[in-house]
Structures are given as C-alpha cells and as structure tokens.
Amino acid sequence: MGKIEVYDTTLRDGRQGAGVNFSIVDLISITHKLDELGVDYIEAGWPGSNPKDIEFFDKLKNEEFKNAKIVAFGSTRLARNKVQDDPVILSMLNADTPVVTIFGKTWDLHVKDVLGVDLETNLKMIRESVSYLKEKGKYLIYDAEHFFDGYNDNPEYAIKTLQAAVDGGADNLSLCETNGGMIPFGIEDIVRKIKTEIKTPLGVHAHNDSECGVANTLAAVKGGAVLVQGTINGFGERTGNANLCSILPNLKFKMGYDVLVNEDCIKDLTEVSRFVSELANLPHDEKLPYVGNNAFAHKAGVHVNAVQKNSRTYEHIDPRLVGNHRRILISDYSGKSSVIEKAREFGIDIKDANVPKKVIDIVKEMESEGFQFEGAEASFELLLKQAMGEYTPGFSLKGFKIITHKIEEEISVNEATIKVVVGNEEEMSVAEGDGPVNALDSALRKVLEKFYPVLKKMHLIDYKVRILTGSDGTAAKTRVLIESKMDDHAWGTVGVSENIIEASWQALVDSIEYLLLKYNS
C-alpha cells in the first residue's frame, strides 16, 4: 500500500493539553525516543511563543537524530507586518530546523471574526509566508486550520486558501479538523474531492472532541492523505489530538501501510506510550487501545477459555506486535481456565484438578466482601499457593496496638506496638511513623528484618484507599491496595475491612509474605 508519513506533535500540540507539562530534559528525552521509534517528523514547538521553546530549539541544535526531521511551528505573518519583518516568521527561521510548519486561516468565519481582515488579505498572508520560508530553503508543511468546517461553510474559499499555499510552494497541505467535531463519513469524501483539485500531497491533523480523531485520520488516508499528524496517547487541547498509538497500528495492521522508518520498531509502541506518560507525570491510561495495560486483558472465564484455544477468538491482533502482552484477570467472573492460565503466568503447575474450582469459590466469596485482585496479583498468588497446600506463613500476629497523640496544634505522633511469632520465637517491637499505617509497617519490619534481612530491600511505593459502602459513613467497608517494590519487581496486595487499619494490615502482611515466598526460599 506504500508509505504514510508520520508527523508527531506531542511536544507542541500535546503540551497544550490540560495537566501535560514537560521540562527541557523531558522534551529532549522524548524527542530522542520518537526518533528511535522512527517517525518522520517531530514538531518540537512554537519557537517564538515562550522562553522554554526558545531554549529547547537552541539545545536541539546540538543533538543528532537518525530518523526524524525536527519541525518548527508557527503561523502566517500578521496582517500589519511585512513577511521579512514578522517576528513569528523570523523565530521559525532562527530555530534552524530543516522543516517548518505554518498554519493559516481556512474558514472565512475566522478570517472575518478573528483576524479581522478581508478574505483577499488572508490569501496574500498565506501565499507570502509560504513563499518567503521556501525561499529560505525550508521544507514547508502548511496546516490548513479549521479546514473541514471552512470547507463545509464555504468550499470555494477554503480551496482558494489551499491554492494560495500551493502558489507559495508548500510541500504538503495538512487539512486540519481543528474543532474535532466531524465524523468519518464526510472526511473521506472531502479529502477525495480536494485531491482531484489540488495536486500537492495532502496530510491530516485531527482532534478528538467527537471521539473520532483516529477514525477521521484513517478516513482521510483512505481518501488520499499521505501524511498523518497526531500525538502519543492522544495528548492535546480539550479532549486531545488523534492518538498516534492507535493510528500507527491501524494503518499498518488493518490497512497495510508502512508507517515507520524501520517497521520493526512498531513493537516499541507500548514502551514509548508509557515513557511519555511517565515523563508527563500522568497515570498511564490503561484502557488505551493497543498500548494500555487492559488492551489485551481477559476477565470472563468464557473469554479466557477461548483465548487459550485460539487467541483470535478475543484478540484482534497479537499484543506482542505492539510490545504489549495478554493479561488474565481474576474475579468473580472467572472460571477454572482463568485460574489455570494465571497459574501458568506465575510459573505454577496445578496438579490437583480440584484446586481451580476451590480457588474460584474462594475468590467469589472474597469479592462479595469487597476484595479485588485485578491490582493485587501478589495476594492472588498467595491465595493460590494456600489452596494448593504450598503456603507456609513466615510469621503470625499475636497482637498490635496503635496510639495517635495530638495536643492542640502540634503535629500528631503515631506509635505502634506489635507482637509477632516467627518460628518458635515471640518478638515485640515499638516504632513511630508519619501515620498509623507507617508506624505499624515500621514496627513490623523492626521485628522481621532480624529473621528475614531481604526485607531491608523492599519498599512500599503506593498506598490506595477506597471506601466501598459510602452509605455507611464512618463505618463503611474499606479496601486498601498496597504496591511494593524490590529492585525492578513491583507487586500489589489487597486488604478489606470496616477498619482501615485492619485492611491495611492485611495488605501489608500479604506484601511481606509475597516477598518471602519469592526471595527467601
């Protein structure tokens, strides 16, 4: 089917999304990651818009890239300026990139109500801006802003704006679905019509306000676009831009196009997606198609049973193609197949045919009490080992006491006293902590580290509390999820009780028991 050029605008349009922020170091790291992935263009920002972008472009001059061309973004000249004196035009030249992208007004509504100029003046601004940048030796992509809305309102003028860019020498005309309100049925037809009138290669830049950003992009390609713009994870203004993490595999695996400089790199897509989320300091959206942690997760027993026999029954592609993996979730919807498959993931061979049914019965009972094992697979592995008769607790509790002191405006002091039995020895310790759970954790470690030195390497990295029965007020049942880590291995455990300390204790004990099971044998 040929090659579709990929234009990434995560570092410019993606940064305009709410909650998205990158440091200069982050921006450089992401640029190299995108280059390694093999996209064709990386839009690094708008060099005249803020000090960070100016600094970023200066630093990029000293960086080397193997695959991607760096792009500076900006607008056509202002109506009152001569093109050679326009600050935005000059800032793009000063960025010293091989490619520049400028946007201009397509929609006559914007020309009149936003720019406040007549329609002919806008055409002149487009033509002169493109021509001047081409004279300076730049490869030029013209973003026809609000193209589809403009075309629907006034098709004759919308085409004139494209022709103005063509007359100036534009190398690509990217048709922008800026408001994100279009649906795919009209996109393909419009692109196909434009292709008959304009011979310059077309691209597409879609937003996601109607949840059609990816679909509109694919429709535009079907209509004849040869360049796609988007962002990693769909970051961007309002509801975001079209998501490249869905566009690329759809183009490659569903439509048969080549999309990356090295096609083998598509297997790195999940890694890149998570890398960008991490640097943005945002939780990775686990429901993202292709690259989310739940994209190939199976919960219902019927699904798991079928996937074990033939993965095509419930997986539209092999998750390994995009660097992802299959997950089997354990819940009250699970069947014996789920338990067997999960055991295989853990490297456990279930020899007793009665164990899977026994485990499912236990899980269903526990989930009715509020337990959930989707984020607590370590707790489930312990449960499985216990059902198989292969689990021996590393310690047992004799009792604990927690005291919280607070006098007037002073910071509260939390103290935990705990007594446990390890083997035949009974031990007691006292410890303070930032909160009651932290104090309990410190006291327990104080005792156990003498017997199990490996505990010194374990760290609690996350602690989540969810109220399960809000109508009960302060007597509501509470679920606590704890995530622990040693070296590069992280695991989750769960506890449930009306008492938040008791729920925390259950999750805490499971986290330690899992560590001992894995690393102290």
Q: Which residues contact 279 (CB under 8 A, 6 or more apart)?
A: 22, 26, 29, 30
Query: Do residues 115 and 257 share a domain?
Result: yes
Residue closest to 431 by CA, chosen among 422, 421, 439, 423: 439
Query: Do residues 47 and 152 share a domain?
Result: yes
| Average pLDDT, integer, range 23-50 | 93
Task: Give the pLDDT band of residue 475 (cuts 50, 70, 90).
Answer: low
Judge whether 20 lies within some domain.
yes
Q: Cα(37)–Cα(247) distance, rounded to whole angstroms?
A: 14
Query: Do residues 400 and 351 share a domain?
Result: no
Query: Do residues 58 and 132 share a domain?
Result: yes
Contact 120, 78 (CB under 8 A): no
Residue 77 per-residue DSSP state:
P
pLDDT beyond 90 at 519: no
pLDDT tens digits for range 347-395: 888 888 888 888 888 888 888 888 888 778 899 899 999 899 888 899 9
Percent of the chain with pLDDT over 90: 69
Residue 204 per-residue DSSP state:
E
Q: Cα(104)–Cα(89) distance, rounded to whole angstroms?
A: 13
Task: Give the pLDDT band of residue 333 (cuts 50, 70, 90).
Answer: low
Both tokens of 101, joined, read 């992208």
Judge whether 126 lies within some domain.
yes
- The sign of the dihedral angle between the CA atoms of 506, 507, 512, 513 is positive
Residue closest to 277 by CA, chosen among 233, 222, 230: 233
| Residue at which a domain ends, from 279, 313, 333 | 279
Q: Which residues contact 502 (CB under 8 A, 6 or more apart)?
A: 495
pLDDT tens digits for range 390-421: 888 999 999 999 999 887 777 888 999 999 99
Angle at 28 between CA 52 and CA 42, to 5 degrees: 90
- The sign of the dihedral angle between the CA atoms of 298, 301, 307, 313 is negative
Judge whether 363 lies within some domain.
yes
Q: Cα(7)–Cα(350) distance, rounded to whole angstroms?
A: 49
Task: Give the pLDDT band of residue 469 (cuts 50, 70, 90).
Answer: low
Torsion of CA 431, 434, 435, 438, to 10 degrees: -60
Q: Cα(228)–Cα(3) distance, rounded to whole angstroms?
A: 11
Query: Do residues 349 and 424 share a domain?
Result: no
Residue 429's CATH number? 3.30.160.740
Query: Do residues 444 and 407 share a domain?
Result: yes
Judge whether 456 lies within some domain.
no
Q: Cα(334)–Cα(66) distance, rounded to whole angstroms?
A: 47
Judge whether 36 lies within some domain.
yes
Judge whether 476 lies within some domain.
no
Query: Do residues 26 and 71 share a domain?
Result: yes
pLDDT tens digits for range 238-289: 999 999 999 999 999 999 999 999 989 999 999 999 999 989 988 889 899 9
- Domain range enclosing 54: 5-279
Backbone angles phi, psi at 268, to 5 degrees: -90, 5
Q: Cα(401)–Cα(415) distance, rounded to whole angstroms?
A: 8
**H/E stretch holding 463:** strand 459-467
Judge whether 423 lies within some domain.
yes
Angle at 122 between CA 92 and CA 14, to 5 degrees: 45
Which residues are paired to 137 by β-bridges? none
Query: Do residues 133 and 213 share a domain?
Result: yes
pLDDT beyond 60 at 67: yes
pLDDT tens digits for range 448-459: 999 999 999 999
- H helix intervals, 224-354: 244-249, 269-279, 301-309, 336-346
Query: Do residues 200 and 86 share a domain?
Result: yes
Count: domains in the chain? 3
Q: Cα(398)–Cα(248) distance, rounded to whole angstroms?
A: 57
Q: Cα(321)–Cα(426) distance, rounded to whole angstroms?
A: 53
Contact 339, 360 (CB under 8 A): yes
Query: Do residues 147 and 193 share a domain?
Result: yes
Query: Do residues 269 and 308 share a domain?
Result: no
Query: Do residues 256 and 302 share a domain?
Result: no
